Amino acid sequence: MKLTQDEILNAIYNLILNPGTRDWERSLLLEARNALENGANFDTQLSKLEADLRPLALRNNLTPDVTDFYHHITDQTTSDTPFDFNKHSLDDPVHQDSAIFAGGCFWCMVEPFENRNGIISVLSGYTGGKVDHPTYDQVSGQYTGHVEAVEIIFDTRIIQYADLVELYWQLTDPTDASGQFQDRGNQYHPIIFVKDEQQRQIAEASKQRLADSGKYTKPIVTSIEPATAFWPAENYHQQFYQKNPERYKRIERSRRQLKAYQALQRKLRAPFQKSKRD
C-alpha cells in the first residue's frame, strides 16, 4: 500500500537527515521538499522525484533507505516489508544462543540458515569495524573496517552451534581471504566471530578437521575472531531472498556455479598433488 502524503513528506525529511543518503540523492529530495513547501502540486512533484530516481533504481544502485522509499512511492509492496526486530532477540537464554558468521555478501548467507529447523531469526548486518552505526555505502566502500555478516539466533534444543559451523563451511570458500566467490574486497572476508570460549573451541576444532580432511589443497584461511558490536543493516537488505526472489536466485546460482567449478578444479588437481607428495 502506498504511503499517505504526510507519510511521504515525513520520509523525505528523514532521508534528507539520514547520513546514509548520498549527496546527489539528498539534492533531489531537497528539491522536492522545497517545491512542496512552496505550494507545488504534490502528485506532479512526486512523479518528478520518482522519474529522477528511476534510472538508478532500475539498476539497483540507490542507497538502501532511498530504495525502500522508492519502493513505497511506486507501490512495490513485495520489497518493503520491515524486518521484525522483536523476533530477533534472546528471549530464553537457557534454550537459545546466537552466532555470527561472515562469508561474502550477506544476501546469500540468510536463506541457507533461516530455513533450517531450530533457527529463530537471521539478521544481516555489519561487524568487526571501528565505526558505530555504519551504513552500507561506508562498509561497501571499505571505510570502516566492517565485514558483511549474519547474526543467527537459534534454539539449542533443536540445533547446536557445531551444526551451524558445519553448514557455514558448506556455504563458503575457506581458502579465499580476498573475498568470497564473485564478492571481492575486505568487507567480504570469511570470518567466524565467537562470543565465548566454548564457541571458539568448537569453531577451531571444526576448522582443524576441515584442514585435516584433505578436501582443500590450499590452506584454510577463514579466521576465528572475538565477536564485537553487530550493527543491523538497512531494512532493504533484511531477508533479501524473500523481497527480491528473482535477483537472489541469479546471485545464488552464480555463487553455486563458482563453488561447483572450484570443487571440480580440486578434484582434477588431486591426482597431481598426490603424485608430487609421493
- Catalytic option among 15, 105, 109, 149: 105
Asked whether the predicted pLDDT for residue 161 surpasses 80, the reply is yes
Greater pLDDT, 17 or 58: 17
Separation between Cα atoms, residue 167 and residue 149, nearest integer Å: 15
| CATH no., domain 96-237 | 3.30.1060.10
The answer to whether 110 and 150 are in contact (CB under 8 A) is yes
Find the range with the poorest average confidence among 24-38, 62-76, 93-107.
62-76
pLDDT of residue 85: 83
pLDDT of residue 228: 96
Q: What percent of the chain has pLDDT over 90?
A: 54
Of the spans 35-39, 72-76, 241-245, which averages the highest pLDDT?
A: 35-39
Nearest to 196 by CA among 226, 168, 218: 226
Largest CA distance in the chain: 83
Catalytic status, residue 108? no
pLDDT of residue 273: 55
Greater pLDDT, 197 or 216: 197
**Residues sharing a CB contact under 8 Å with residue 6, sequence separation 6 or more, in sequence order:** none
Asked whether the predicted pLDDT for residue 2 surpasses 70, the reply is no
Q: Which own/partner pairs from 80-83 qualify as long-range (CB within 8 Å, at least 24 positions apart)?
A: 80/235, 80/243, 81/239, 81/242, 81/243, 82/235, 83/123, 83/232, 83/235, 83/238, 83/239
Q: What percent of the chain has pLDDT over 70?
A: 92
Separation between Cα atoms, residue 161 and residue 137, nearest integer Å: 31
pLDDT tens for each residue of 40-81:
899 888 988 988 998 888 777 788 888 888 888 887 654 456
CATH 3.30.1060.10 domain locations along the chain:
96-237
Grade residue 270 by pLDDT with cuts at 50, 70 and 90: low
Greater pLDDT, 252 or 59: 252
pLDDT of residue 79: 46
- The overall average pLDDT reported for the chain is 88
The answer to whether 180 and 172 are in contact (CB under 8 A) is yes
pLDDT of residue 152: 98
Grade residue 221 by pLDDT with cuts at 50, 70 and 90: very high
pLDDT tens for each residue of 145-155:
999 999 999 99
